[in-house]
Amino acid sequence: MIKTERLNLIPCELKHFEAFERNETELAEMLNVELADGWLVFPEIIPHSRKFLEANPDSANWWMYFFVHAKDKKLIGNGGFKGKLDENGTVEIGYAVAPEYRGKGLATEAAKGLINFAFTHSQIKRVQAHTLAEENESTKVLRKVGMTFVKEMHDDEDGDIWQWQLSAKF
C-alpha cells in the first residue's frame, strides 16, 4: 500500500477484481469502505485490468490501485501504473477521482504518491503521463507534481494527446 497524507492507495489484486465483477458492494465490504458516487470514472478498465494481472501476476505493484480516502473510509477513485518499467526505465501513471472529491488536491496527492513510490526504485529513471491535447484538470495536476510537457502525439484510441514527464533526481 502507498500512504499519503489523506489517501491509502491499495494495489488491486485478482480477488478485488473478482469481487467487483460479482457486485460492487462486495468490493466495498472487502476493502472495508463506502463507495463514493462515481468513484470508477472509467469502468471499462476493470475487465482489461483483470486480464492483464492474470497474465502478469508479477506486475501487481505496477498496475491498478484503489484510492481510499483514509478519514472518510471511502473508495474515491483509482489509478496507478500502466505496467512495469520499460527498457528505458520509464513507467506511466494515470488517475481518476470521483466528482465529489475533485478540486481538493486529491488527484495531485495520488499522483505524487505514485511518483514517490516509483522513484524509490533505482531502476526507474522517468515517470510519464498522457492527457488529452488540451488544457484541463489533468494538465494542472501534472504541472503541480513537477511534470513538464514533452510532445503532442496521436493515439489511435484517444486521438491527439500530450505526453508529460518527470525525471528522477540523482
* Residue ranges covered by each domain of the chain: 2-167
Average confidence score pLDDT of the chain: 95
Residue type, 126: R
Instruction: Kindly state the percentage of the chain with pLDDT values over 70.
Output: 99
Please tell me the distance from the alpha carbon of residue 18 to that of residue 97, in angstroms, as a whole number.
22
Q: How far apart are CA 126 and CA 88, in angstroms?
A: 8
Architecture of domain 2-167: 3-Layer(aba) Sandwich (3.40)
pLDDT in tens, 6-54: 999 999 999 999 999 999 999 999 999 999 999 999 888 899 899 999 9
pLDDT score for 14: 94
Give residue for cell 522517468.
126
pTM of the model: 0.95
CB 73 within 8 A of CB 34: yes
- Give the Cα separation of 65 and 118 in Å (integer): 13
CA neighbor of 123 nearest in space, from 62, 80, 53: 62
DSSP-based helix, strand, coil % in the chain, nearest 5:
35, 30, 35
H/E stretch holding 44: none
Longest dimension (CA), the chain: 45
Q: Is residue 169 very low, low, confident or very high in pLDDT (cuts 50, 70, 90)? A: confident
Geometric angle at alpha carbon 164, from 3 and 145, rounded to 5°: 35
